[in-house]
A and B are shown apart, each in its own frame.
Chain A
Amino acid sequence: MPKKHLPFESVSRRDLLKLGLGAGVVGPLALSSRGAKAVNTQAHIVIVGAGAGGLSMANRLTNSLQGAKITIIDTREKHYYQPGWTLVASGVWNQDKTVTDIVDWLPKSVNWVKGHVAEYDPDNNRVLLEDGQAVSYDQLIVASGLQLRYDLIQGMDVDLIGQGKGVGSVYASMDASAKTNEEIKRWISKGGGTGLFNLPPTALKCAGAPIKMTFTTLHRLEDTGRREQFNVEFMTPSGGLFSVPFYNDFIKQRFSEQGVTRNDLWTLKAIDADAKKATYSVKGGEDQVKDYDFIHVVPPMTAGAALENSPLAFQPNENFKGWMKVDRETLQNPDYFNVWGIGDVMGMPSNKTAASVKMQAKVLEENFLASLQGKPLTAKHNGYTSCPMITAIGKAMLVEFGWDSKLLPSFSFIDPKKESWTVWVMKERMLRPAYYAMLEGKI
């Protein structure tokens, strides 16, 4: 059962300031003073996207620049703590814990344009919005995340989630993750049947989330005492479960111990929600149709049409085709030196996590300031990404790695290869605070 709401749980930073709660305590959080070593510039900086990357950069640059004009472009009014959605869909968190107002995270001096970028025109240093407005820039930071392409699965519509048809997806939205929890509950209360869990054929954000959803659901099924009544299957388009070999083997082993049937090289192609049937294309074989009682849909993910069709994207003959082209270490676009990237939109291995954004923001700020001052770009992103791999409701492994799947543990005393209660507590209690500190540009 999701926990009841605690007082102060969803109080915004703005409300707390209004309450005037201990200025001494709130002070360091609220009133960010411009850094002592602020760089002077008259540049107009445009940030596309007010998500994890965009807000972090807006806060960091507000502190480190003097005289700059910063504009952020996004239509959304709400900011979502997406890493919390796995806990919502697993029945651990109430969904309200994952939403705040964007305005609460934006420095007052930042100009917020409520629009959606439809076209990038880097040759003329401008972006065009859907309403036809053109916004010019001196420096551009692309932080537009990624697009969930449910439309590429025939018959799939996010509105199906939570309609009692057994369709769930933790990725779709905050509401959808709560409805996914309802669908899982409904399936469990039926007392048996088949659950299909999927991976997409593309890069995905938080590559561990589909696996976490499988593990937490297995936990709930085992809790019924009638696990054998439920058939759980996991489909992988590539045959792999996770990019780091140790965790890939660990998950495979765990799946076989917990009675999960794996169908490798299967890609979800279509669903018939009324008939509860899913069609899979199978590499080297014929399409297969599976009946289900619950299906966890993970859609293909892309960088979004505006970016894909622009000169800022990797070209069809390159790796990471369609994703934003950046030097993976400096985060600068190699063709347009006044264009930078952060977050899920970029084409690079793994790195589609908030944990990566946290590391990228530091590197990007340093290189951005260096570039404004005509200095060489010396900060280098090491590919850091992290995902607390929940292996049951109540335990997790702290998975942290960089380029070439090299493990990069942050805490020498936490064994990255062991399941642990402490790591679960970190995921459940500490990561949201750390994420908020990241949005404020403090870590």
Chain B
Amino acid sequence: MTFSGILTVVWYSALPWLWLISVMLVAFLVPQLLARMKSYSFTSKGGMGSKYIPPLVVLLAFFLVPLQTQSSLAYVNTWVDWMNLIGVSIGLGFYAWLVFHPICFMRNSK
């Protein structure tokens, strides 16, 4: 497949989710920028939220992602299915950390 072919497929796949991608981008960028104005870095101390919410998100994603695709955990069957589900869940957990870590940092530094 050509590069422009891949871009085209990615574009059409993302199209229904542009609103969500935008919301997630804002939810990621705003706390990051605000916290960085107060000298936040990834190694800064977070808080309860950044400790417990990301694993909770991973756990929830594990059940909810198959449901979101109109499927169910019972149909996650092959090793590729498991790798995909684990990958997506961990990715969402990491995203939650990226959002909540700077928020907790800002609360701490109030």
**A299 to B: closest C-beta gap in Å:** 28
The answer to whether A394 touches B81, judged by C-beta atoms less than 8 angstroms apart, is no
Contacts of A428 in B (CB 8 A): 69-70
Number of chain A residues close to chain B: CB under 8 A:
37
Question: With A28-B4, A395-B71 in contact, do A430 and B78 touch (Cβ < 8 Å)?
Answer: no
The answer to whether B19 touches A6, judged by C-beta atoms less than 8 angstroms apart, is yes
Contacts of A394 in B (CB 8 A): 66, 69-72, 75
Interface of A is mostly: mixed
B76 part of interface (Cβ distance < 8 Å): yes
The answer to whether B5 touches A421, judged by C-beta atoms less than 8 angstroms apart, is no
Contact of A29 among B8, B13, B19, B71 (CB under 8 A): B8
**B79 to A: closest C-beta gap in Å:** 8
A424 part of interface (Cβ distance < 8 Å): yes
Chain B 29-85 interface residues, beta-carbon cutoff 8 Å to A: 66, 69-72, 75-78, 80-81, 84-85
A418 part of interface (Cβ distance < 8 Å): yes
Summed over the interface, the residue pairs from A and B with CB atoms below 8 Å come to a total of 105
**A289 to B: closest C-beta gap in Å:** 37
Interface centre among A26, A424, A432, A442 (most CB of B within 10 A): A442
**Bound complex: CA A9 to CA B77 (Å):** 29
Contact of B13 among A392, A413, A430, A442 (CB under 8 A): A430
Question: With A395-B77, A420-B81, A429-B69 in contact, do A8 and B8 touch (Cβ < 8 Å)?
Answer: no
List the one stretch of A113-121, A326-334, A433-441 in contact with chain B.
A433-441
Chain A residue at minimal CB-CB distance from B85: A421
Chain A residue at minimal CB-CB distance from B17: A6
Contacts of B15 in A (CB 8 A): 8-9, 11, 16, 433
Contacts of A26 in B (CB 8 A): 11
A372 part of interface (Cβ distance < 8 Å): no
Q: Which residues of B contact A (CB under 8 A)?
A: 1-2, 4-5, 7-13, 15-19, 66, 69-72, 75-78, 80-81, 84-85
Q: Which residues of A contact B (CB under 8 A)?
A: 3, 6-9, 11, 16, 25-26, 28-29, 92, 392-395, 413-415, 418-422, 424-425, 428-430, 432-434, 436-437, 440, 442-443
Q: Please name the 8 residue pairs, one residue from A and one from B, whose CB atoms are nearest each other, closest first.
A: A394-B71, A433-B12, A437-B8, A443-B5, A395-B75, A442-B5, A433-B13, A442-B8
- 29 residue pairs of the A-B complex, CB under 8 angstroms, read A3-B70, A6-B16, A8-B16, A11-B15, A29-B4, A92-B70, A392-B75, A413-B80, A414-B78, A415-B78, A418-B77, A419-B75, A420-B81, A421-B69, A421-B85, A422-B80, A422-B81, A424-B71, A429-B69, A432-B12, A433-B13, A434-B12, A437-B12, A442-B4, A442-B5, A442-B8, A443-B1, A443-B5, A443-B9
